[in-house]
Homo-oligomer: A and B are copies of this chain.
Amino acid sequence: MAQLNMVQAINQALAYEMEHDDRVVLLGEDVGRDGGVFRVTEGLIERFGSERVLDTPLCESGIMGAAIGMAAYGLRPVTEIQFMGFTYSAFEQLFAHAARVRSRSRGRFTCPLVVRTPYGGGIKAPELHEESTEALFCQVPGLKVVVPSGPYMAKGLLLSALRDPDPVLFLEPTRLYRLIREEVPEGEYVVELGKARVARAGGAVTVVAWGSMLERVLKAVDGYDAEVLDLLTLSPFDIGAVLASVRKTGRLVIVHEAAKSCGFGAEIAATVAEEAILHLRAPILRVTAPDVPVPLAKLIDHYLPGPQQIRGALDEVLQY
């Protein structure tokens, strides 16, 4: 088995599926000749031709809308939005259309669409290149939201997403693209959507994280009796896994890099406060970025939650 980084793993999943399913087509800005600004689609236009890997004009909303039409027609389009910050202009198409094609047409048309986008902070890039507004999309009934935390998961989750009958937003933590290498089987394997993974077992506190925060959390919990859940799918999230762990540990800390207010941590905390409050011995803490816009490079390290803050939260809940 090869040691791949996440860029390679995602590329492999795309290539595999394109090889086996001619309905899969890619479209987006620079996905063709350039192979994508992060090279995730490198080599695919050479292999599958420019009818299946489309370099588009610069218009995120139009790209998303076109992908919806392709999906309704029977293809399985994959759009790359160059950075999550540029999904905002495509928000209407995702929210009011992609997620509603099936329900509006009562199943006559469907929207098996995967929207890939680099996501999250820590790469010292320009404005709007480090957004992590996953919670916006988790609020959309009819849309799934997936966040891999490493190469192995990325490939398996992406293959699931590509086969899902409904639209999936696939958020690729940019900071992890080349940070982690893992053994990734060359052939086909899927990781089921909607299932969390126990990234580390423990008994005294549950820590829930996803994407690039997972790596940080795993380092930070060293020395703590913490159970770490890697959520992987945010919408729908694995409520059962979270509740099971919290019922065991009695304590919950949620870590995400998005701003605190209305971040996805709120939904997790609210769900636990609804379903398992009597098992809690301590407040549910959220370790998050502050309620400010994502800053540029000079301040990004102060924006993203750091190991100290994570340990601070662990220490606090363990006092109870």
List residues of chain A with CB under 8 Å of any chain B CB: 61, 85, 88-89, 91-92, 95-96, 99-100, 103-104, 127-128, 133, 135-136, 138-139, 141-142, 235-236, 258-259, 261-275, 277-278, 280, 282-286, 291-293
20 contacts between A and B (CB under 8 A): A61-B89, A91-B91, A91-B92, A100-B293, A104-B127, A104-B293, A139-B259, A141-B259, A141-B261, A142-B292, A142-B293, A261-B267, A262-B264, A266-B266, A269-B270, A269-B273, A269-B274, A272-B273, A273-B277, A277-B283
Partner of A89, one of B92, B235, B286: B92
Specify how many copies of this chain sit in the oligomer. 2
Closest 5 CB pairs of A and B: A269-B270, A88-B92, A139-B262, A266-B270, A266-B266
Q: Which of B92, B95, B262, B293 contacts A262 (CB 8 A)?
A: B262
Given contacts A266-B269, A270-B270, 19 further A-B contacts (CB under 8 A): A61-B89, A89-B92, A91-B91, A99-B293, A103-B292, A104-B127, A135-B139, A138-B261, A138-B262, A139-B262, A141-B293, A235-B261, A262-B262, A266-B267, A266-B271, A268-B270, A270-B273, A273-B277, A277-B280
- Chain B residue contacts of A266, Cβ below 8 A: 262, 266-267, 269-271
Q: Quick one: closest B residue to A91, CB to CB?
A: B91
In the bound complex, how far is the Cα of B263 from the Cα of A188, in angstroms? 37
In Å, the complex CA distance between A88 and B89 comes to: 8
Q: How far is the CA of A96 from the CA of B278 in the complex (A)?
A: 40
Question: Do B270 and A277 have beta carbons less than 8 Å apart?
Answer: no
- B274 and A139 within 8 A (CB): no
Contact between B91 and A291, CB atoms less than 8 A apart: no
**In whole angstroms, what is the CA distance A147 to B138 when docked?**
23
Q: Are A141 and B291 in contact (CB under 8 A)?
A: yes
